[in-house]
Amino acid sequence: MTDAKNRIEETVKAHDVVLYMKGTKEMPQCGFSSRVAGVLNYIGVDYTDVNVLADEEIRSGIKEYSDWPTIPQLYIKGEFVGGCDIITEMTLSGELDGMFEQHSITFDKAAADKIREANG
């Protein structure tokens, strides 16, 4: 395994929720990363952000690791969940809530409901 793959695997296994993104959760550097970070921030999920712009090895390695061509990428309990479109759909359907509940990850259910109300 490459160094990048090892670092990615260590990160996704060490943290319950990890978002590989362009920028940081405080300052996203692309609209797609901003959308996913915005959802996680709004519903109060404690997550680790990894700025792929700060490390070219990780930026290309994450795409290979997940066999997914785009960033952002969300991992829950070591499992790749999806990118921006998938996370948006899962948020609106309530499926993301279910994943968090299944894995005992704390989030604000009322805030998640507000997102659905605003987009319903």
In tens digits, the chain (120 residues) has pLDDT values of 589 999 999 999 999 999 999 999 999 999 999 999 999 999 999 999 999 999 999 999 999 999 999 999 999 999 999 999 999 999 999 999 999 999 999 999 999 999 999 998
Which pLDDT does position 2 carry in this prediction? 81
Q: Which domain holds residue 33?
A: 3-119
Which pLDDT does position 60 carry in this prediction? 94
Which pLDDT does position 113 carry in this prediction? 97
Instruction: Give strand pairing partners of 28.
Output: 23
Which pLDDT does position 1 carry in this prediction? 52
115 Cβ contact list (under 8 Å, min separation 6): 39, 42, 43, 91, 92
Q: How far apart are CA 5 and CA 3, in angstroms?
A: 5
Q: Residue 112 in contact with residue 43, Cβ under 8 Å?
A: yes
What's the domain count of the chain? 1
Burial class (CB in 10 A: 0-12, 13-18, 19+), 95: middle
Indicate which CATH number applies to the domain containing 22: 3.40.30.10
